[in-house]
Amino acid sequence: MKAFVTGGTGFIGSRVIKRLRDRGDDVVALARSPEKAAGLDAEIVQGDLGDADAIRRAMEGCQAAFHIAADYRVGMPKSKRESMFDANVRGTERVLKAAEDAGVNRIVYVSTVNAFGNTNGQTVDETYKRDESDGFVSYYDETKYLAHKMALEHAAAGAPVVIVQPGVVYGPGDHAIIGQFIDQASKGKMPAKAFPDMGITAVFVDDVADGIMLAHDKGKPGESYVLGGELTTQGELIDKAAAIGGEKPPRMTVPPLMLKAMIPVGRFIGPPMGLPPNFREMISAAHNVTYLARDDKARRELGYQPRDLDTGLRETIGAG
């Protein structure tokens, strides 16, 4: 099989490419920077999600498409919203259209549990329908919801689209905020917790890559599959990371009111602190919010078998 992959240089995509190559599949990867993609065992086509011609060229002769790339930022300034919309929504449309035109047999679209929005303490599944009138907790939330809806529309029109919805992904080599939290907590360098009650569906990165492959091989077009691992909170994850690293968890918690008071100066103090500049959106996406979803369907229909949080954190911290 010949497979087209977006996001191949990323945290998840690089692992998917390795799995494809390990089983003998040919891979064509779309990459903005050929230098960054130099270590990938794949044919590289230079381009990004805004380059429809490059996407079409890369898709030629492929039997499968894995759309993994996305702009994942929470708390970014409003000036960056247009580029996020183009990547997450229009980019998904470009990939789906090119895959359909190329006649690929299976399209795997990587959505997110975030497409459900704030589950308000509920643990939901793939049948859950969010109320759009409730609004969105972040612009990432909005764009990924719109892209997810678009993928379902393409599937309803006959495209062979299978959707996967990972939770909060962590693991070795993670440079996102959750990876920073795990690293800091395990080394005793986290001075205080923020938003410890935020509910998350934590999933180890290699389990996500396995789930994506299972979705291609066994998933049903038009269906979505949550890829989870363990339901937890941000505070509990930090506590476990500290314990595994042999450190004490931070005693202090930053009050949300303090962060709200800092909204006007967030663009100045956020980046030096390792935080995003838009404190208003950061708070909206984390305070009194849960992203909880069960993965029973993926376990039952795909044979998905993720590891628990303790095991995943040990592997993450041990590799650091």
Residue type, 179: G
**Is the domain covering 2-170+202-228+292-306 a CATH 3.40.1410.10 domain?**
no
| Residue pair 228/117 in contact by the 8 Å Cβ criterion | no
Q: What is the pLDDT of residues 282-314, one digit of tens each?
A: 888 889 999 999 999 999 999 999 999 999 999
Over pLDDT 70: what percentage of the chain? 96
| Residue 68 φ/ψ, nearest 5 degrees | -110, -30
Over pLDDT 90: what percentage of the chain? 79
Of 45, 123, 128, 138, nearest to 88 by C-alpha is 138
The domain segmentation of the chain, as residue ranges, is 2-170+202-228+292-306
| Tens of each residue's pLDDT in the chain, 320 residues | 999 999 999 999 999 999 999 999 999 999 998 888 888 999 999 999 999 999 999 999 999 999 999 999 888 888 889 999 999 999 999 999 999 999 999 999 999 999 999 999 999 999 999 988 889 999 999 999 999 999 999 999 999 999 999 999 999 999 888 999 999 999 999 988 989 999 999 999 999 999 999 999 999 999 999 999 999 999 999 999 999 999 999 988 888 877 777 677 666 666 666 667 777 888 888 899 999 999 999 999 999 999 999 999 999 998 65
| Residue 64 φ/ψ, nearest 5 degrees | -145, 150
CA distance 278 to 76: 5
CA geometry: angle at 264 spanning 258 and 199, to 5°? Answer: 50
pTM of the predicted model over 0.85? yes
Residues paired with residue 162 on neighbouring β-strands, in sequence order: 108
